[in-house]
A = this chain, B = another copy of it.
Amino acid sequence: MSADAINIEQKLALFQDHWNPRIIGELNGQHIKLAKLQGEFVWHSHEHEDEAFFVLHGSLTMEFRDRSVKVREGEMIIVPRGVEHRPVANAECHVMLFEPTSTVNTGSAGGDLTRESLERL
């Protein structure tokens, strides 16, 4: 038994839509996902799940209720469980996400941007 290499740029080229994460790997009950972001997401939090965003291309602003944090290409931010946040990307931004397999993108907020069943690339 062994494993294959996963090419991130090749995976990113397989989809174009925004705010619709794809699963590229799973380990220890966590998913590794890729997503393309543009515009404003919804305010939400995840009651039981911490969530990491690693910016591969572009930049995003992670808005919290008390301040906003710019996250540039090559930077990561870990949003602790229970903390309300809203990612905003003025231009298209590509991220790698690391979060539990149970995580729903909009957390407890729900709404039109909710993606319950994610494609696996």
Contacts and interface: CB of A to CB of B under 8 A. Distances in A.
Interface of A: 1-9, 24-30, 32, 49-52, 54, 62, 64-67, 69-72, 74-80, 83, 85, 96, 98-100
A52 B76 contact: no
A50 B78 CA distance: 21
A32 B52 contact: yes
B6 A76 contact: yes
Nearest to A50: B27
Contact of A69 (B3, B25, B32): B3
A4 B98 contact: no
A71 to B, nearest CB: 5
Given A27-B78, A32-B98, A5 B69 contact: yes
